[in-house]
Amino acid sequence: MAFIALATLTAFFNLDMLGDYYASWGVPGLLRALISALAGVFLPFVVLPLGAVSIGSAIENGTVRVLLSKPLRRRDFFLGTLLSDISAVFIGATLYLATLVAYALHLGAPLSKTLELGLAFGSLLFLSLVQYLALGYLLSAFMRGRKGLLASLLLAFAVPISVVAVYPSFDVLARKALFVPSPLLQHIVLGMAVSPKSELPPKPVGEILNYPGNLALLVVPTLVYLAVSWLKFRRADLR
């Protein structure tokens, strides 16, 4: 709930800035702005902690003990929690995107182009956020309580920053960054692809996804994180 509210709020806060971008560069400028400035940075900061405390708090406050004393399997609890978290992420991302698309249309952006970019960006954003969620699950499988939460916030900062520091130029970053499972970097790259102002020529979303392994990197680490979290949860002491 809080997540959804925050997502909507962020979208609104940045309408002004987006107006400027749109005035200067049109739809691509608009998307460039929102991709790199907000979605890539802010939403993961909500989603990663969400994942990190989701199962952990259920163990801490005892909800999981009540539920699993009923004729349910551990698998049912894990999947149920995961599904409800994913739908929260989905609703948040959708609201966020809907606000932006509506605003772009309000500014007079061409309908089909806006929808196309919006949809492509929306699905990438969703996959990235789910990956952050899964990373949060992974963290909570090894760390309980505040420690997990802190670590998750640290990680949200540290991973992208260290990667940006390692790569010598944006061009290399754009080609290689997607190999690092960090949604922030994926957003940066995506942002560059639709931007007319960065050093890179604007690229269609399809081409970005055609970098070898890009789509896989949005999905495979997610699956790995979730698998490890599940294996750990399956044999965890729930007290």
Partner 1 sequence: MIRIENLVKTYKDVKALDGLNLEVKKGQIYGFLGPNGAGKSTTILSTLGLIFPQEGRIELFGEEVFRDGKYDEGRLVKAKARIGYMPEHATLWDFLTPVQTLSVIADAFGIPKAEKEKRINELLDLVGLKDARRRKVGKFSKGMRQRLLLAQALINDPDLLILDEPMTGLDPTGIAEFKEIIREQRRAGKTVFFSSHILAHVEEVCDTVGVIVKGKLRVEDSLDNIKREFLRKLATRLSWRQINPWTSAVLGGRSRRLGRISTG
Which chain residues interact with partner 1 by CB under 8 A? 61-63, 65-74, 235, 237-239
CA distance 19 to 222: 34
Q: How far is the CB of 87 from partner 1 (least distance, A)?
A: 17
Kindly tell me which of 68 and 164 has the beta carbon lying closer to partner 1.
68
Q: How many CA atoms are closer than 13 Å to the CA of 108, on its beta-carbon side? A: 5
Helices 145-166 and 111-142 meet at what angle, rounded to 10? 130
Kindly tell me which of 23 and 79 has the beta carbon lying closer to partner 1.
79
Q: How far is the CB of 61 from partner 1 (least distance, A)?
A: 5
Q: How far is the CB of 110 from partner 1 (least distance, A)?
A: 43
Q: How far is the CB of 77 from partner 1 (least distance, A)?
A: 10
Kindly tell me which of 76 and 207 has the beta carbon lying closer to partner 1.
76
SS3 144: coil
Where does the chain have alpha helices with state H? 2-13, 15-34, 42-61, 63-68, 74-106, 111-142, 145-166, 170-176, 183-194, 205-210, 214-234
Kindly tell me which of 98 and 238 has the beta carbon lying closer to partner 1.
238
